Chain A
């Protein structure tokens, strides 16, 4: 039973992706570009050489973390569209912690590790708190979370920008960036020479996905959340307080988004900056999570796929004339198809691929 649905899910993801890529290629061809080159460049940009792989994995790290954050909430039946904002706030908290504590702590590797750990913890706290906010508004004021979280994304971005520009910008510069973190606050690249990807970051993402999976599948807390998502009335019957669960869910989701923020600040940037120039990981994560049927483990392959699409898209941007926005559109198409499993079921039935007639 379960196996069949995992398989079906996987097939759905593959078919959606292929179909979206096919449509993308047709559009490329129809607008007068070379479709074959489009696809091969996409592949090469994703996995063609070591630095491309590093970029793919870097994007995947971020997408897995934010994807898990989305999955947690969706699983519990709460539409957290605010992962972007929670991730922005989390990363900002990391940056503040590192910048303010660095002078107080000894430098060197030990200081670096301490700063990174503390920075990640504050990110988790900040992300969780920023996630709790719409949770509280939904639970106790019936405010639709889809709308509140979208508003809070705009607000997070605006306020963080303001704070950086007004208070954290080093004198003598005009860019709304904070100072760079000390050199020793950095995750080692190991096999990948890239300055913005570290196997440790990927490890954190994988461990988070696994950890969240265990929580969701093996603990009574996870059971409470998932049951609320499936059937709120049954959850209430079983002793789950629906209001509290909305708040805990959003907090938990925000905490994971906070980890994403920490990794972004430490591993990717090494400083902090105007959030409106950040990639929209929090939104792409919705696609990632959906593709994975909101399963934290499924988020890993989905995150790798989207990371690859991202990297490939960027590569296309600087090798071909095809505008890289196209790749964003293709991602949207994937989401659209994933949203409509019935479409594929019906066509599968039409072509006689199993399924009962009703």
Chain B
């Protein structure tokens, strides 16, 4: 650690291209020692890329990195680690089958006669833990897969500290945490900066940024829009910087009234792959011509709920009723045929076959639907037409149906999936993060489509972690926490602050909004 007054990290005019995409375009950033510097921006703004450059994962196409006032080039994370930079990725870099101890020392194992010296490893980790007040020592011999995400995250941090990091990059660390864990994380962050550590904190949640950061840098389309003081900025200012214009929170005018109940879910319980209950007795119903939004921190059972409704995951108990028919036990294919469309959260691995061109992808999910398939035989000409229509209507770029799905950008992939699912008049659309990774123009288009379809009498179940999105689109808004609905509110009548409390699992004092159930 240097005692000089030089900033912990200085990034100067960092540029990074991926083919035609300029992920970072001359970005500057200064991280002062002993402070938290937040990095915010929309999906794809270039936050992760910038940090990967700093961590030696990517070689920048231009610009310089200074650490402790020294110019540096990092060829690999090892170089960055040696310079005292550590990174906690969005997806943890932990080996599930190994113990906490083994993970922490991986690559930097103390040895004794060729064997890993367990005692000195333990002692060194203990020292890190006691210095910063971590409580993972009791887990040292537990395997990562047996620990919750919050603990895993702390293991990641301890791992970086163990390797001598004095600058830590935290990439969306709160996305996977419960509010309580978020608070604990913030305590840890405060402890770290008190001890002279410097932190870069990537987040989508502006209130979080304002709460913990000394400085906030906003990225938009790969460029730095500016750096503001964390204490004195406002959410409105940040949002404007991020999106480039004032963010509208306009309500939607409905043209029709909701009709009969299309989807009804009663006392549903669902387990995840590891057999842990993720949905713990949820009741919900969606009428035709209505959007029910589900808001919540990722990982609170949304994914399992959606999969149970769409037929991808068996339920433990409870029922799913669609248009009066009990479909709890029917196959996914039956549900597709019955008219349930599904925009999956993971377009890359579920919504599209990467190696297929768009024509073949247009058949995905429609394998038994006429007129694309008759008597088991595929009418490829019809499918091709269908694909061309989706591409045209949803402005998929490049506009060639022969393009492989994998060659499309994420946003265009998403548009194609949304188009495919919405084009043939389903009765229910289950939309999971429908605009993730999609540019602003397309977001508005998709939002418009969803509202149009609602007005045509379709029932829509919308899951999104973007609060503005669920608030804007939903007629009713359910807040999910640890597999249960905390409350169902009127999206127009609730504030983000109230929603935040609900998502943290705290019931509101008084129910309002005149909502059913």
Contact = CB atoms under 8 A, between A and B. Distances in A.
Contacts, number: 74
Interface string B320-348: 00000000000111001000001010100
B231 interface: no
A2 B353 CA distance: 15
B350 A239 contact: no
A218 B380 CA distance: 8
B376 A239 contact: no
Interface stretch (B23-31, B208-216, B255-263, B356-364): B356-364
Contacts of A234: 349-353, 364
Contacts of B183: none
Interface in A227-281: 227, 230-231, 233-234, 236-241
A233 B355 contact: no
Contacts of B344: 237
B357 A1 contact: yes
B378 A223 contact: yes
A113 B313 CA distance: 50
A237 B367 contact: no
A236 B353 contact: no
Interface in B276-323: 311-312
A237 B331 contact: no
B353 A227 contact: yes
Interface string A217-228: 011110110010
Contact of A220 (B346, B367, B402, B404): B367
Given A223-B367, A238-B364, A238-B365, A231 B353 contact: yes
Contacts of A236: 312, 332, 350
A233 B377 contact: no
Contacts of B354: 230-231
B193 interface: no
Interface residues of B, number: 33
Contacts of B353: 227, 230-231, 234
Contacts of B402: 1-2
A297 to B, nearest CB: 16
Nearest to B372: A220
B376 A237 contact: no
A33 to B, nearest CB: 44
Interface in A101-155: none
Query: What is the predominant secondary structure among interface residues of chain A facing chain B?
Result: helix
Given A234-B350, A237-B312, A219 B376 contact: yes
Nearest to B366: A238
B377 A218 contact: yes
B376 A221 contact: yes
Contacts of B404: 1
A224 B365 CA distance: 10
A230 B356 contact: yes
Given A219-B376, A237-B342, A231 B365 contact: no
B227 interface: no
Given A220-B368, A220-B373, A223-B363, A237 B350 contact: yes
A224 B367 contact: yes
A239 B355 CA distance: 19
B126 to A, nearest CB: 40
Contacts of A233: 346, 349-350
Contact of B336 (A1, A220, A239): A239
Considering residues B342, B360, B364, which has the most beta carbons from chain A within 10 angstroms of its beta carbon?
A: B364
13 contacts: A1-B357, A218-B377, A227-B364, A231-B355, A233-B350, A234-B349, A236-B350, A237-B364, A239-B331, A239-B333, A239-B365, A239-B367, A240-B333
Given A1-B357, A236-B350, 11 more contacts: A2-B357, A219-B376, A219-B377, A219-B378, A220-B376, A231-B349, A233-B346, A233-B350, A237-B350, A237-B351, A237-B364
Interface of A: 1-2, 218-221, 223-224, 227, 230-231, 233-234, 236-241
Return the 9 tightest CB-CB contacts between A and B, nearest first: A239-B333, A220-B367, A237-B350, A238-B365, A233-B349, A238-B364, A239-B332, A220-B373, A234-B353
